[in-house]
Homo-oligomer: A and B are copies of this chain.
Amino acid sequence: MQKKELLYIQIANNLEYQIKHEVFKVGDKLPSLRTICIEKGVSLSTATQAFFELENRGLIESRPQSGYYVSLSPEKFRAIPETSKPIIVNSGSKHDEMMSMVIKNFDQAQITLSSAMLSPDLVPIAKLNKSILNATRSLKDSGVSYSKDGSIRLKTQIAKRAITWGGKLQVKDIITTGGSIDSMSFCLLALTKRGDTIIVESPVFFGILRLAGSLGLNVLELPTNPITGIEVEAVKKALEKKKIAACILVSNFSNPLGSCMTDENKKAVVELMEKHNVPLIEDDLYADLYFGNHRPTSCKTFDESGIVLWCGSFSKTLVSGYRVGWVVAGKFHEQVARAKQFHSMYSSTITHEAIGDFLEIGRYEHHLIKLRQILYRNSLQLQRCISEYFPEDTKFTRPIGSMNLWIELNKKYDTLDLYNKAIAKKISITPGRIYTMQNQFNNCFKLSYGKLWNEQTENAIKLLGKFTRQL
């Protein structure tokens, strides 16, 4: 079963490669199913599955009595947004209000395209319930007491998974937390004080802006490329010019850009941090959702001195309601452990153990294999829809992991207007403006696709395209 699945995916991937490199161009007829069977030496059912897969990805379409044709090559259409150039006019509290208003309204939406969050249809609920039951059975006293050292079972699994990104981790290096924001909060409480400056990407996840604002930190937003992430040269200049208390990077499949730093850039940034002795808080919560053949490395992979505080979470990849995250704080371990204990004592015993159980019996890996396929297909479908329904000069990113896609409209449009029109129809999108403290990204917005794709989703994108043209 597993093998067969891999075979049809393999064929689909090969064909996709050819489509993307214009061996087959838009409108071209694909080889017949029979040809595929003979060429690849596979059964008719496998060949059919491969074509269905390509159809799901939005790359081909069947024409009755005729066969399959290339309907779209995502690489052909539309430009990719350029590297951001943050300006330096801080817009302060007005921004806070807008952010709160925008986020509050998300709850009204029936079609949620705003939140980087898995819809429950993509969560293995029954199996997680089983792990909750297992946890109450295996924990001493069913987990009614404080978990003083955190769940060892969970920490062991997190440490074991370090093999997927080339990390060297021991159980004792890991501090479990209630999620990624929790982890970053403890790191910033431990390492910064009011008035300090931190550097971040631009656009940057609004939760980081809110957290920094709450602690009275100044945020320096640096130029960021939609493909390769924060510009190393900009980091270098910032460190040389100003006293920086910490740097926060979502190194892999950032929200909202979806950028993924190259190994070279990761290495270079870590070296810069070491040189200037500035802690790097790496929010690495999406990396398991890669579309390629393997998980990308992390900045932590290249960290020899312990300057990187590597934060992770299962909220984006498995289950958000259990509140399970962690931080490996390197040489700041003691400070961060204290910040956690002083501000929240211990984590929820049962839910942390349940995730430990879920991983230990191999269910996480299995879940990820399916999830990555679904998200990859969704990302292609979304690109197809935007190409089809939005104005010609619309730029958008090409996600290679996770569930976020960043769209840049012509400068003349204000996506806050689009947001308002959409929310009136109970569709939520995230306007670009809330991903910065500066007055920019007003013509941008983010769509998330962590859900089962259906006609309703397609219609919502179509409507967004229509609204955009009407603006």
Contact = CB atoms under 8 A, between A and B. Distances in A.
A44 interface: no
Contact of A125 (B144, B179, B215): B144
A460 interface: no
Sort chain A's interface into a size bin.
Answer: 35 or more
Nearest to A185: B343
Contacts of A117: 145-146
Given A141-B123, A211-B343, A350 B351 contact: yes
A84 to B, nearest CB: 24
**Secondary structure type dominating chain A contacts:** helix
**Total identical chains:** 2
A100 B346 CA distance: 15
A346 B180 CA distance: 12
Contacts of A179: 344-345
Interface string A321-332: 111000000000
Interface string A349-388: 1110000000000000000000000000000000000000
B181 A148 contact: no
Contact of A344 (B100, B182, B350): B182
Nearest to A194: B194
A4 interface: no
A383 to B, nearest CB: 27
A338 interface: yes
Interface in A22-79: none
B348 A322 contact: yes
Interface in A126-165: 128-129, 132-133, 136, 140-148
Interface of A: 100, 107, 117, 120, 123, 125, 128-129, 132-133, 136, 140-148, 178-179, 181-182, 185, 189, 193-194, 207, 210-211, 213-216, 319-323, 338-339, 341-351
25 contacts: A100-B338, A117-B145, A117-B146, A120-B141, A123-B144, A123-B145, A125-B141, A128-B142, A143-B321, A144-B322, A147-B321, A178-B348, A181-B344, A182-B344, A182-B345, A189-B214, A193-B194, A210-B342, A211-B342, A211-B343, A213-B342, A214-B339, A323-B348, A343-B343, A350-B351
